Structure 1
Amino acid sequence: MISGLHHFDSWLSRSTWYTLHPDEEKLFYLALKKIIAENPGVLIHEQYVRYYILNKKVSTLADDTLKQAAKKYGKLAEDISDYVLNTQ
Structure 2
Amino acid sequence: MLSLQTLPGNFAIYRFAPQASVPAQVWHSPLLSVTRTPDELSVVCAADVPVEGALSCEMDWAALQVAGPLDFSLTGVLAGLSTALAAAGISVFAVST
- Does the TM-score normalized on the shorter chain lie above 0.5? no
Larger radius of gyration: 2
Higher share of residues assigned strand: 2
Higher helix share: 1
